Amino acid sequence: MVTVKLMENVMKANEAAAEANARRMEEAGIFAVDMMSSPGSGKTTILERTLDALGGELRTAVIEGDLYTSRDAERVEARGAQVVQINTGGACHLDAKVVQQALESMDLQGHDLLFIENVGNLICPAGYRLGESERVMVLSVTEGVDKPEKYPAMFRSCSVALVNKIDLLEVLEMDIREVADEIRRVNPRMKILPVSARTGEGMEAWYEWLRVEVRRTRKSAVRA
Over the stretch 38-96, which tens digit does the pLDDT of each residue have? 999 999 999 999 999 999 999 999 999 999 899 999 999 999 999 999 999 988 999 99
Long-range pairs for 152-156: beta carbons < 8 A, 24 or more residues apart: 152/186, 153/123, 153/126, 153/127, 154/36, 154/122, 154/123, 154/125, 154/126, 155/183, 155/186, 155/187, 155/190, 156/186, 156/187
10 Å CB burial of residue 173 (0-12, 13-18, 19+) is exposed
With 70 as the cut, is the pLDDT of residue 189 above it?
A: yes
Mean pLDDT confidence for 115-121: 95
- The domains found in the chain, sorted by start residue, are 17-223 (3.40.50.300)
Give 135's strand partners: 34
C-alpha span between 102 and 115 (Å, rounded)? 12
What contacts 8, CB < 8 A, 6 or more positions away? Answer: none
In this prediction the pTM is: 0.94
pLDDT, one tens digit per residue, over 123-177 is 999 999 999 999 999 999 999 999 999 999 999 999 999 999 999 999 999 999 9
Q: Which of 44-48, 194-198, 217-221 has the lowest mean pLDDT?
A: 217-221
pLDDT, one tens digit per residue, over 1-30 is 455 565 677 789 999 999 999 999 999 999
